[in-house]
Chain A
Amino acid sequence: MSDLDRAIEQLRACRLIPESQVRELCYKARELLIEEGNVVSVDAPVTICGDIHGQFHDLMELFRVGGDVPDTNYLFMGDFVDRGFYSLESFLLLLCLKVRYPDRITLIRGNHESRQITTVYGFYDECIRKYGSANVWRYCCEVFDYLALGALVLGASSELEPTMSGGNDITQSTMPIDDGELETEVLNSRGEVTMSTYRPRQRSSSDVSTDSRNISPPRDISAAPGQTGAPTRTGAPGTGASGYGNGSAMTSRTGAVLCVHGGLSPLIDSVDKIRLIDRKQEVPHEGAMCDLLWSDPDEIEGWGLSPRGAGFLFGGDIVKQFNHLNGLSLVARAHQLVMEGYKEMFDGGIVTVWSAPNYCYRCGNVAAILELGEDARNGGTVARSNGEYGRSNGVVGADGVASTVVSPGRRYRVFEAAAQDTRGMPAKKPVADYFL
């Protein structure tokens, strides 16, 4: 569709498309998104991205570092708009790409994809400024209501293919085990490996769970091991999650990865519960849908009040329990600025990915994206779709026996704000004419 390709080209150059095209785009996107489940199934390989916040030039940098659409399969975890000065360009470009390559890019909803929030934090004003009326804002908000609430990444490989570093190897390997399986790798924007961790190749089901996969950026000292003094159970709790099998026979060794913008909810004990939400509404102030978009992990036990005034804080025990019950190996989420771009917590049970470098043009942070590789033994044949696996597809352990799941190999690409000369001076659009 050449019109769409032209629109993509125009938006890539940071130039807006006419209002009528926006409207058409939004209607098309709506048709597409209405077919998506509240939790979209996505197959590895996929690159998971966090908040963008209208930093268009940095989004371009993200595509440079992570590969272009459709060559790379992307999953964006919301917060496309607000704060930055190019929310419209960023969101419309992502939406165009979604309509153009529906199978190559997944967008889920963030707490900023909401009417209330956007009227306060810039997107509404930007629409008025750039289009002269709130129409485009309305179209976009309508699309927000259709965005999925989460995604489930299936078929990720537990082992990374080592990245070939250039001549100057600046790797600092935490576990240089000759026979180890490459578990995580951190690359800078030039593609050089700056850190890798390994896990032992030989494993029994018991020692995997005690694997040291609490990796975090070298600068980060906050994630101390044994974060909670809680008596955590190592075995399967209670009668276990056995009932979830439901005949779904996933062959992957790694558990699925749940991606949501914020985090978990006390009202959601299984991924299936998310499917019972009528998501086509403004983000509510409470309830499961709100929590998924607003909650944050924290070094506490159980649930806590969120200082944000919406959602909850949840501790490592909650994450462990949730992952175990749902056969997940990892929860990937965004929503919080992390200076290093990503931060793993709770023995690698949850990771925060943040993709807006130098947030608000002044925070001085770097950004990251998370690449999950494809499990080669799957033959890459799992088709991407919604709900075709039956409704309990997030679960390994096909025999109904709760087996320990292995976390997927994780490659973080860290990048900085776009070079100055590629982006010009970021600014809002001034008013054209004025009477007063």
Chain B
Amino acid sequence: MALDLQPPDGRKRVKVYELRDNDWFDRGTGFCTGQILGEEPRIYVESEDQPNRVLLETKITKDDGYQKQQGFCPAVPAETLIVWTESNGTDMALSFQEAEGCAVIWDFVNTVQQHLLSLAAADDALSDDLESYQSIVLPAPELGNLPEIEQIVRAASMTQAGRDALSKFIIRDEYIGKLVPLVTMAEDLESLVDLHRLCNIMKSLILLNDNTIIETVVADQIILGVVGALEYDPEFPTHKANHRQYLADQSRYKEVVPIKDPLIRRKIRSTWRLQYLKDVVLARILDDPTFSVLNSLIFFNQMEIVNHIQSNAPFLRELFSVFDPRNPDTKRKDDAVQFLHQCAAIAKNLQAPSRAQLFANFISHGLFQVIAFAVKHPNPAMRTTGIDILVALLDHDPVMMRGYMLKAVNEKKTPLTDTLIDLLHAETDLGVKNQLADAIKILLDPQIPLQDPLARAGPDYFKVRSSNLLSDAFVQQHFDESSKRLFQPLKQLANRPSLNDLTFQEVTLYSHLVDILTFFVRQHLFRTRNAIHSESLAPRVAQILTAPQKHLKLVALKFFRTLISLQDTFYQALMTHNNTFGLILDIVHETMPRDNLLNSACLELFEFIKRENIKPFILHVVEKYREKLENITYVDTFQNLILRFDQMQGYGAEADSALFSQDEGTPRRMPLNGQRWQGVKEMDAAEEEYFNTSDDEDEWTQDNRATLAVGAPNGSASPMVKPLVDYPDDDDEDAMDTKSEEVPAPSAEAQPLTVGDIQVEPSPEPTSAPTSPTAQIPPVPERLTEKRRREEEDEDELVKLAAGPKRRSSTSSNSSAGMMNRKKNLSIGSLGSVEKGGTQGVLGTVTGAAAPKRIAINIGPVGKAAVSDTETCAETVSSESNEKENRDDSQGDEGG
């Protein structure tokens, strides 16, 4: 490479500095020249007093970020400094005596670099390097310079290169610290304009989204100045926030047991400040990158704090000794509970192993006694706190908790469950009651959920595990006994002639108990059978159907709806041997034809029986209540049930065999698995068509049938897709409805147009059922990903429409589009597979329609055993959400 450059003339007097340990170390004074030695351009400084001593010899490369700056002497605002970083990482500075000398060397460096760059650009055309090495220098931090500073900062924030350069400068120059005194200065001068400028500058600097800058901001000497500036938001010119007042208030920090390590104390302080910044100061203006930087800083701080606490044995001993019964200081006890509660809340965000370790440590120091203390506290707020801690443990590892509990039973101690059950019965605070019910649900849940083994890999893991190896019979026995205790009030309902005089507290209790029972039935029908049978709980729940409180009726109704969906002979017998359906029909009678929640819930129950063609129920209901059914004409649900019944009688033998075949040995369809049972379905279409053409069918249905076949009316995917809407070109296809069996599924290949409708590239797979718009919907491989991170949902809802100027991360919208594409491609893939199954299997005979097997993310524990298709989506749901859903699982069995 030929450098046809001329080195500058003359020698410039200069001081050479080197940055050592954050201090500029003076290497000496000398004369600086720019030289080209061979092909190498370099800066050369010879000592002034020892001419042969070389103070500096550095090669100029295109990559070095040279900066020209104002000199160290603020009195002479001339640019006499050149600053750069050596290739070995050392920061260097040349301080020229004359600005003119500085300029000469600066020009030389610039020329050389430009030349080198142009050569490099010609070589590999990496022209954007040019931008990324620009450097930024802010004027001296003075009130007079604020307009210029603001302008430069704003301009630099526009580009990534500018942001990088600005961050570098801010950090190197410790610029924020220099701005801080200006705040009080401007306040003293009552210069609102300057304060607004300072606020804008601070905002921009924080939004540079640099870890080091943000850590600087929350440092002790800096924070008040920064938030002070941020109190004067130009967007709210008539307002002034009081951040400083809040953050300066030392009394907000409480200590139960003093933490001595100064580093940890500082971490605690700065975490608190970061949270305040995130939630209050910057809440409105935070963009996603800064939001996540703040979050991750908080996360790492908290991890260190928690690790410190749990490894600090004397601290823990002192903390838990507070709960010694001999200690009269109740205030301190309350504080200690609060402290543990906060630890538990933080632990939720930690990774499973450290969380496990923390909890194991707490437990070994006596956390359970603390919980026992808290849940019996006279103050409801403290009870809530206590249960919160318990729930955090349960969320973390229910198996471990059950292990501890069973261990207590085994050792003939009172298990926690008994305490909780008694509390649930007696509790008057409805919020606490609510929580207790949830905790009991998880604690007694007899099913052991699969879980990430890491989550339990605490030190106590094996100890607990071994105690958990108690016999299944023992577990069952404990479950039965606890259930007996738990549902005792429900059982006592038998002695009550009428439910018209239920107190408010009773109503709440029964509603919780039936809810828990429903949960047990759904989670583990076999284990729960005992409890329901021996305590004869089903008639009691049926009794509740007669309560005047509608929401209580609903809870009972939900219980029976769950029993029905289980399609289990034991539960079927329970329902058909009692007057359960009579009571439900009474509710329909009472509410009809009004359109309300209770009425809809009843209709849905009967629609479900009809749709799933659950023969024992159809036979029972129609045989026993035919007259009642005939009188309900405002919807066709009940007439259809009768039709279905009559039709079964017509096919008598078949119906019987279907009935008797439903023994326990048959693998049951589990609706919770998100996949529909396909069994009896094929007959459906034929049957329905048969009756559609009969005279019995009322007009409504007939017309309906002609124009649009009825999909599944309830809130779930139809097991069998029928044409939903009659399309103009499909008139000739109507025959398919009546003679569906004759249509071979692959015939759909002749109509590939539907594939095009999915607005993605055509799929080679045969698409069936061209008449059905639903068939165009491929199974959705990635279901509700509402646990998507904040950024992602923003993309969904925001980026699409608002490519607003305030969002500068253009990359995120690109990735969003990419993601959508990916989803579509994925779905096409699985469409193919499902349809292949369809053509080979059962579905082939049914109107040739592929079921829109939309796969739910089964958040509930059952969903863990998901179909293979769901694997991708299951992964998108964080384990945390899993836990939450577990606890709040009050949704119908349809949702899963």
A residues apposed to B, CB below 8 Å: 19, 23, 30-31, 33-39, 85, 115-117, 119-121, 129, 132-135, 138-139, 141, 145-146, 231, 233, 237-244, 246, 266-270, 273, 275-290, 294, 300-305, 307-310, 312, 318, 321-322, 325, 336-339, 359-365, 386-388, 390-391, 420-421, 424-436
Give the chain B neighbours of A289 by CB distance below 8 A.
715
Scan B259-301; emit 1 where CB is below 8 A from any A CB, else 0.
0000000001001100110011101110000000000000000
Contact A237 B728 (CB under 8 A): yes
B757 with A301: CB separation less than 8 A: yes
Q: Which residues of A contact B459 (CB under 8 A)?
A: none
**In the complex, what residues of B have CB within 8 A of residue A364's CB?**
802, 804-806
User: Which residues of chain A are within 8 angstroms of B890 by Cβ–Cβ distance?
Assistant: 145, 281-282
Q: Which of B174-182, B216-224, B449-457, B791-799 contacts A (4 or more CB under 8 A)?
A: B791-799
The answer to whether B355 has its CB under 8 Å from any CB of chain A is no
Which B residues touch A121, using CB under 8 A? 790, 793
- Asked if B884 and A116 sit within 8 Å, CB to CB, the answer is yes
CA distance A270 to B235 in the complex (A): 49
Q: Residue B342 contacts which of A23, A308, A434 (CB distance < 8 angstroms)? A: A434
Q: Which of B252, B594, B674, B790 contacts A386 (CB 8 A)?
A: B594
What residues of chain A lie closer than 8 Å to B794, measured between beta carbons?
Answer: 360
Chain A CB within 8 A of B550 CB: yes
A-B pairs with beta carbons under 8 A, tally: 355
| A38, chain B: closest CB distance, angstroms | 5
- B406-445 residues with Cβ-Cβ distance < 8 A to A are 430-431, 434-435
User: A-contacting residues of B (Cβ < 8 Å)?
Assistant: 233, 235-239, 241, 246, 252-256, 268, 271-272, 275-276, 279-281, 283-285, 302, 305-306, 335, 338-339, 342-343, 346, 381, 384-385, 388, 430-431, 434-435, 550-551, 554, 558, 561, 593-601, 603-605, 607, 634-635, 637, 674, 699-700, 702-704, 706-708, 710-718, 724-729, 731, 754, 757-759, 773-774, 776-778, 780, 782-788, 790, 793-794, 796-798, 800-802, 804-807, 819-820, 823-824, 827, 852, 854-857, 859, 873, 881, 884-885, 888-892, 894-896
Complex alpha-carbon distance, A134 and B281, angstroms: 25
Q: Which residues of chain B come closer than 8 Å to A432, judged between CB atoms?
A: 252
B381 touches A34 (CB 8 A): no
Q: Is the CB of A284 within 8 A of B896?
A: yes
Check B707–A286 contact: CB distance below 8 A.
Answer: no
Give chain B residues whose Cβ lies under 8 Å from the Cβ of A134: 388, 435
User: In the complex, A359→B786 CA distance in Å?
Assistant: 19
Q: With a CB–CB cut-off of 8 A, which chain A residues contact B728?
A: 231, 233, 237
Q: Complex formed: what's the CA distance from A310 to B797 in Å? A: 13
A436-B284 contact in complex given A19-B431, A284-B894, A305-B824, C-beta closer than 8 Å? no
Give chain B residues whose Cβ lies under 8 Å from the Cβ of A243.
Answer: 699-700, 702-704
Q: Which of A34, A138, A430 contacts B280 (CB 8 A)?
A: A430
- Min CB–CB distance A430 → chain B (angstroms): 5
26 CB < 8 A contacts A-B: A23-B431, A35-B597, A37-B594, A120-B787, A120-B881, A243-B704, A266-B724, A266-B773, A267-B717, A280-B554, A280-B597, A285-B783, A288-B716, A302-B757, A303-B776, A303-B777, A305-B777, A309-B785, A310-B783, A339-B801, A359-B802, A430-B275, A431-B275, A435-B255, A435-B335, A436-B339
**CB-based nearest B residue for A322:** B725
Report how far A139 CA is from B605 CA in the complex, Å.
Answer: 26
Q: How far is the CA of A240 from the CA of B704 in the complex (A)?
A: 9
Main secondary structure of the interface of A (DSSP, over half): loop
Verify B891–A281 contact, CB threshold 8 A. yes
Q: In the bound complex, do residue B595 and residue A425 qualify as a contact, i.e. CB atoms below 8 Å apart?
A: no
Query: Which 8 A-B pairs give the minimum distances between C-beta atoms?
Result: A387-B595, A243-B703, A37-B595, A135-B431, A282-B891, A284-B895, A287-B715, A289-B715
Which chain A positions have C-beta within 8 A of B706? 238-239
Q: Which of A280, A288, A290, A425 contacts B239, CB < 8 Å? A: A425
Nearest neighbor of A299 in chain B, beta-carbon distance: B759
Q: Chain B residues near A278: list those with CB within 8 A.
A: 558, 561, 600-601, 604-605, 714-715, 892
Cα distance A100–B163 when bound, in Å? 53
Chain A residues positioned under 8 Å from B726 (CB to CB): 237-238
